[in-house]
């Protein structure tokens, strides 16, 4: 048993549960990226995942474990897009009604996809309203079950399956790097890394404008910030979670940041050199590696490209700037 919210066994069980649901996404290489960094880089392309992001892993793992009563009552969550799409799709696959509370400025394609999967979208102002209060009202009125975007053991375990596959396909790694918002992906990744490759460094990368995770690990407690203004919309979390923070703290994760300008340049690299559309949040890990925030020379580095959901007009505007 472990005092933390999840163990490697939870991730392994989630991986079995996701068989036939989540794609086993490819691990791609780039000689140009290797030459640029002096490292051997292994990109886990969750941009090619079902719903276009890793979030289906945690969402399906959570909803699939609902009781009959919970399935009848439905599921509710809040999300800037990727988790919302994932919950809507998981619920659709399992015959459960989904309500997704989304910011008014969420990318249009993410809203459309969530509705396309049968999700009921409720909008709010992310800079003026607390989505938790909206969730509380919906739960009280409808009897739905709340599955948060990151701070839930089943979500965390599901997200860790991406790292499990990365280690299986790439082999031993000196460092594994993921984007960091609320910590669901990084906590699942840390759990896998400590089990499969104990000496591997575990790195999360946040937007420079919203480094609450970096502050939290430095201060030894959860630091809450105002919603950061960044193009990395899927990493605009205000704080780490009560479940995710202890995992990151106890398993020795480290956090660095990347600027919006670095994210744009990284988006351009993936589009031009690897023919991949990666959303800004998905570029966080690679941006930190490309721009020298991490000592990677001579090492084997796993990087999770977490998603590729971005409006084409927005993508063109950013990479064409």
How many angstroms separate the CA atoms of 19 and 225, rounded? 37
pTM of the model: 0.95
* Domain membership flag for residue 1: no
The CATH number assigned to the domain holding 131 equals 3.40.50.1100
In a shared domain, residues 218 and 101? no
Question: Last residue of some domain: 114, 129, 146?
Answer: 146
- What is the structure's pLDDT at 1? 35
User: Which pLDDT value is given to residue 275?
Assistant: 97
> Active-site residue among 30, 44, 55, 187?
55
Q: Give 254-279 pLDDT, tens digit per residue.
A: 999 999 999 999 999 999 999 999 99
**Are 44 and 105 found together in one domain?**
no
pLDDT in tens, 177-226: 999 999 999 999 999 999 999 999 999 999 999 999 999 999 999 999 99
For 130, the domain range is: 56-146
Q: Is 55 a catalytic residue?
A: yes
Domain co-membership, 24 together with 129:
no
**Burial call 36-70: b when 16+ CB within 10 Å, e when fewer:** ebebbbbbbbbbbbbbbbbbbbbbbbbbbebeeeb
Q: Residue 36 domain-assigned?
A: yes
* Nearest alpha-carbon partner for 93 in 123, 122, 128, 62: 62
- Verify that 134 and 237 share a domain, yes or no: no
Same domain, 39 and 167: yes
Q: Per the structure, how many domains does the chain have?
A: 2
Helices (H), the chain: 8-17, 31-37, 55-63, 68-73, 82-94, 108-116, 131-142, 153-170, 184-196, 212-219, 244-250, 260-273, 284-290, 312-319
Q: Are residues 158 and 135 in the same domain?
A: no
| CA-wise closest residue to 119 among 158, 76, 154 | 76
* 136 and 228 in a common domain: no
Q: Report the distance separating Cα 88 and Cα 96, nearest Å.
A: 9
User: Residue 203: its pLDDT value, please?
Assistant: 98
Please say whether the beta carbons of 192 and 163 come within 8 A. yes
What residues are paired with 178 via a beta bridge? 204
- The per-residue pLDDT for 105 is 87
Whether 13 and 97 map to the same domain: the answer is no
Region of 93 on the Ramachandran plot (φ > 0 left; ψ -120 to 50 alpha; else beta): alpha
- My answer on whether 164 and 241 are in the same domain is yes
CA distance 43 to 75: 32
Specify the residue for token string 């066994």.
9
Residues contacting residue 166 through CB under 8 Å, at least 6 positions apart: 27, 42, 44, 173, 176, 302, 304
To the query of whether residue 239 is one of the catalytic residues in this protein, the response is: no
Q: Give, for all 321 residues of the chain, the pLDDT tens digit.
A: 358 999 999 999 999 999 999 999 999 999 999 999 999 999 999 999 999 999 999 999 999 999 999 999 999 999 877 899 999 999 999 999 999 999 998 888 888 999 999 999 999 998 888 888 999 999 999 999 999 999 999 999 999 999 999 999 999 999 999 999 999 999 999 999 999 999 999 999 999 999 999 999 999 999 999 989 999 988 988 999 999 999 999 999 999 999 999 999 999 999 999 999 999 999 999 999 999 999 999 999 999 999 999 988 999 999 985
Of the listed 30, 44, 79, 80, which one is catalytic?
Answer: 80
Q: Is residue 277 part of a domain?
A: yes
CA distance 239 to 210: 9
Residue 18 placed within a domain: yes
Clarify whether residues 101 and 196 are in a common domain: no
Q: Tell me if 84 sits within 8 A of 110, measured CB to CB.
A: yes
Same-domain check for residues 189 and 140: no
pLDDT value of position 106: 83
* Residue 129, in any domain of the structure: yes
State how far the Cα of 6 lies from the Cα of 34, in Å rounded to an integer.
Answer: 34
What confidence score (pLDDT) does residue 108 get? 84
Rounded Cα distance between 107 and 190, Å, is 29
3-state percent helix, strand, coil for the chain, nearest multiple of 5:
50, 15, 35
Please report whether residue 2 resides in a domain: no
Task: Report the alpha-carbon distance of residue 247 to residue 244 in Å, rounded.
Answer: 5
Residue 279 shares a structural domain with residue 133: no
């Amino acid at each position: 048993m472990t005092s933390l919210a999840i163990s490697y066994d939870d991730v392994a069980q989630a991986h079995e549960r996701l068989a036939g649901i989540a794609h086993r996404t490819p691990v791609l290489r780039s000689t140009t990226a290797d030459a640029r960094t002096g490292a051997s880089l292994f990109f886990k392309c969750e941009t090619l995942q079902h719903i276009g992001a890793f979030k289906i892993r945690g969402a399906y793992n959570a909803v699939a474990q609902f009781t009959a009563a919970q399935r009848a009552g439905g599921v509710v969550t809040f999300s800037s897009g990727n988790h919302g799409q994932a919950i809507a799709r998981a619920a659709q696959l399992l015959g459960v009604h989904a309500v997704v509370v989304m910011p008014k400025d969420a990318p249009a394609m993410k809203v459309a996809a969530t509705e396309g999967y049968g999700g009921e979208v409720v909008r709010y102002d992310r800079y003026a309203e607390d989505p938790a209060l909206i969730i509380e009202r919906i739960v009280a009125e409808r009897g739905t079950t709340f599955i948060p975007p990151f701070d839930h053991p089943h979500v965390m375990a599901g997200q860790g399956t991406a790292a499990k596959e990365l280690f299986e396909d790439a082999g031993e790694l000196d460092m594994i790097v993921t984007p960091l918002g609320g910590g669901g992906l990084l906590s699942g990744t840390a759990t896998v890394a400590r089990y499969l490759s104990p000496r591997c460094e575990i790195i999360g990368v946040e937007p420079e404008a919203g480094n609450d995770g970096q502050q939290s690990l430095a201060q030894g407690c959860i630091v809450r910030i105002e919603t950061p203004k960044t193009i990395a919309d899927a990493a605009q979390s205000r704080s780490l979670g009560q479940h995710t923070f202890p995992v990151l703290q106890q398993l020795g994760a480290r956090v660095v940041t990347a600027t919006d300008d670095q994210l744009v340049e990284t988006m351009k690299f993936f589009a031009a050199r690897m023919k991949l559309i990666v959303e800004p949040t998905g570029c966080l890990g690679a941006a930190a590696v490309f721009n020298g925030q991490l000592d990677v020379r001579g090492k084997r580095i796993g990087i999770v490209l977490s998603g590729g959901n971005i409006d084409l007009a927005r993508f063109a505007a950013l990479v064409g700037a």
